[in-house]
Structure formats: structure tokens, C-alpha cells
């Protein structure tokens, strides 16, 4: 009987010794976990100081990014099927921005060795190819353009971005603003472009991104917004806002928030008094909030976006900005 009990005890001892972790092993595992945590923090993209550097938003809703690294891009000359009668040089460029490969069309006017340049941001749903009509017009005026395919073709989802913001993650709209900033760096790096004479132009929603990018890039001489306006979040009383994070985020994506930081860059708005998408009143409010230097021109067609009647105003202001 005692021998059977002794055998059972021995079996239990052996079984338990097979699953027991020694103290040195526990210490080693603990050390490895601490080490992994340290390197996780060290190499977390949100703590990087490179191209994936973190973004910040002040309590007033002003977005900011750390200094950008020198742009890396590829360029390939392609056939110009959008204006085959012209002698423009057309190149397809690709560059990295916030983990995304952004593609753009660089159009350089014929017989130009040091072109004045514009970053061109299409409206929502408009591709870089579809924006070449305006790019060709600008080329005829003597200006090179770098036209982006914006993420989601410029489309935005404010509710989803607000969720990301509240979770401490970077909203897609912030990425799109950063894309425009990187595009200005890429344009300045082109050998055919005068890096001291650059501006940014955007239509509709692209105009909103253009205002923010110009405010965040002091090297740009000015911004031209066609059929665009701010959101008017300055009318919200922050002390009465029930959701302070939502207020902070909405302010951060509103061009109106950045108008006081634009000068000495100039704001130019060109808008139709009968615009069916973004009302003329909204554009007037944005213009009234802006500081000098600024200018606004009005046309009367019941259209949204660039029209031939806007050309004289566009040509006049580009000459003032870049010549």
C-alpha cells in the first residue's frame, strides 16, 4: 500500500516538474519582454523622426508636421496625349509620402529652362489626367504644373477621420495635406523648375488642401483657390462645444483656421456667384476672414470649377505671384 502511494507521489512530482518554469527562465522572459517593449517604443512609426514623423494639432486646431526629409522620386517622360499639338514635356512622377506611393503628372512648357511652378490639386473625384485641361492652359501662360492623384481621388470621410483622430491615429485628410507638402518638395527638386518661384492651386476640395499646404509651407508664394471655401468652424463657440476633440479636429481641417498664418503668402479666390456646389457666400466669408495680401474675383456661370471666363484673373494673379 505504501509502495503504491509512493509511486503515485512520484508520478505527480514528475508531472509537475515537467510544467514548472525555473526562476532563471522567468527572469529571462521578463527581460526579453522589457527589451521588446523598449524597441517597440523606439521603432514605433509614431515616434519616428523621418518621413513618417508624427503630426500634432494645437488646442486651437492648427495642424503641424516636423521637417520633411529630402524627397525621393522617380520620373519618366511619357507621350502627351492630352495636348498632342503642344511641345510641352510631360513626365510621370512617383514619390513616397506617409507610406503611400503618390503619382503625379509634371507638365513643363516648351522652351523653358527655369519654369515657374505650380502644384495643382484637382477637386474630389478628378484624376491627374482629367485635370490636364487646366494644366495645359497654365502651360500656355508659361507655368509648369505638378498635378497629383490625391488619395481617394480627393474624396474625404470626415466621420471616419474623426474616429481615427480620437483614437490617436492619423486621419486620412492629414495624409492628403502632407502629400501636397511633399509634392511641393518634389516640384522644387526638378531641374527644369525654379525652386524660388512656386505656388499652389486647387479646385473645389483640392483648394481646401491647397490653403492648408500653403500655410504649412512658407516657401510657397501663394495659393489660388478655384470654387472653394472654408467650413466656417470659427463660428463654433469652443467653450460650448460638447466634444472638445471633435471641435479640435474640425478646426484642424478647416482652411479658415489657417488664414491668419498665410501671410506673406497671398490668398486668391476665384468663384462663381452661381456655384451650385460650394456657395458664393461661403467663399465670401473665407475671403473676409483672410488677411492681406488677398484678392477675389467673381464670375457668373452656374458651374463649379474652372471656366474660360476665369482665365484673365488667373493669368493676372499668377503674374503677380510668381513673376
Has residue 238 been placed in a domain? yes
For 186, the grid coordinates are 518634389
Highest mean pLDDT among 11-25, 49-63, 173-187: 173-187
- Residue 130: pLDDT band by 50, 70, 90 thresholds? very high
Has residue 27 been placed in a domain? no
pLDDT of residue 240: 59
Beta strands per DSSP E along the chain: 56-57, 63-64, 73-78, 89-97, 100-108, 115-121, 143-148, 193-203, 222-226, 266-272, 294-299
CA distance 179 to 317: 25
CA distance 226 to 275: 11
Identify the bridge partners of residue 82 per DSSP, sorted by sequence position: none
Q: Which residue in 290, 133, 272, 299 sits closest to 222, CA to CA?
A: 290
Report percent pLDDT > 90 for the chain: 77
For 24, the grid coordinates are 532563471
Identify the bridge partners of residue 169 per DSSP, sorted by sequence position: none
pLDDT of residue 33: 38
Helix (H) or strand (E) holding 315: helix 311-322
For 209, the grid coordinates are 488642401
Sign of CA dihedral 124, 128, 130, 131: positive
CATH code of the domain containing 82: 3.40.50.1820
Identify the bridge partners of residue 104 per DSSP, sorted by sequence position: 93, 148
Has residue 151 been placed in a domain? yes
pLDDT of residue 255: 98
Has residue 22 been placed in a domain? no
pLDDT of residue 28: 46
Q: Which residue in 190, 187, 191 sits closest to 200, CA to CA?
A: 187
Has residue 164 been placed in a domain? yes
Has residue 32 been placed in a domain? no
Mapping DSSP to helix (H, G, I), strand (E, B) and coil, where does residue 299 land? strand
Has residue 188 been placed in a domain? yes
For 6, the grid coordinates are 509512493
Least confident span in 29-38, 93-102, 118-127: 29-38
pLDDT of residue 112: 76
Residue with cell 495643382: 120
Has residue 183 been placed in a domain? yes
Sign of CA dihedral 235, 306, 212, 160: positive
Residues making up the chain, counted from first to last: 323
What is the domain extent for residue 107?
A: 56-322
pLDDT, tens digit, for every residue of 235-278? 887 665 678 899 999 999 999 999 999 999 999 999 999 999 99
User: pTM here?
Assistant: 0.83
For the chain, the domain total comes to 1
Q: Which residue in 98, 252, 248 sits closest to 175, CA to CA?
A: 98
Contact 202, 133 (CB under 8 A): no
Amino acid at each position: 500500500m505504501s509502495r503504491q502511494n509512493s509511486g503515485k507521489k512520484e508520478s505527480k512530482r514528475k508531472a509537475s516538474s515537467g510544467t514548472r518554469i525555473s526562476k532563471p527562465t522567468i527572469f529571462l522572459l521578463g527581460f526579453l519582454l522589457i527589451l521588446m517593449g523598449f524597441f517597440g517604443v523606439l521603432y514605433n512609426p509614431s515616434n519616428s523622426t523621418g518621413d513618417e514623423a508624427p503630426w500634432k494639432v494645437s488646442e486651437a486646431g492648427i495642424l503641424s508636421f516636423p521637417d520633411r526629409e529630402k524627397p525621393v522620386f522617380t520620373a519618366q517622360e511619357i507621350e502627351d496625349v492630352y495636348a498632342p499639338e503642344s511641345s510641352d514635356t510631360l513626365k510621370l512622377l512617383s514619390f513616397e509620402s506617409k507610406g503611400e506611393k503618390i503619382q503625379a503628372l509634371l507638365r513643363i512648357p516648351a522652351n523653358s529652362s527655369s519654369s515657374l511652378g505650380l502644384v495643382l490639386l484637382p477637386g474630389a473625384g478628378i484624376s491627374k489626367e482629367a485635370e490636364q485641361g487646366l494644366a495645359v492652359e497654365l502651360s500656355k501662360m508659361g507655368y509648369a504644373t505638378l498635378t497629383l492623384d490625391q488619395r481617394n481621388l480627393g474624396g474625404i470621410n470626415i466621420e471616419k477621420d474623426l474616429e481615427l483622430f480620437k483614437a490617436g491615429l492619423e486621419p486620412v485628410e492629414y495624409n492628403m495635406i502632407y502629400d501636397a507638402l511633399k509634392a511641393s518638395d518634389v516640384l522644387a527638386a526638378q531641374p527644369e523648375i525654379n525652386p524660388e518661384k512656386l505656388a499652389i492651386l486647387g479646385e473645389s476640395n483640392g483648394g481646401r488642401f491647397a490653403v492648408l499646404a500653403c500655410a504649412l509651407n512658407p516657401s510657397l508664394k501663394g495659393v489660388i483657390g478655384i470654387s472653394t471655401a472654408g467650413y466656417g468652424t470659427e463660428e463654433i463657440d469652443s467653450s460650448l462645444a460638447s466634444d472638445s476633440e471633435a471641435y479640435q479636429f474640425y478646426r484642424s481641417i478647416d482652411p479658415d483656421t489657417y488664414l491668419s498664418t498665410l501671410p506673406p503668402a497671398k490668398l486668391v479666390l476665384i468663384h462663381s456667384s452661381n456655384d451650385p456646389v460650394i456657395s458664393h457666400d461661403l467663399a465670401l466669408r473665407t475671403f473676409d476672414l483672410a488677411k492681406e495680401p488677398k484678392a477675389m474675383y467673381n464670375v457668373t456661370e452656374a458651374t463649379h470649377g474652372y471656366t474660360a471666363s476665369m482665365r484673365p484673373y488667373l493669368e493676372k494673379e499668377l503674374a503677380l505671384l510668381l513673376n
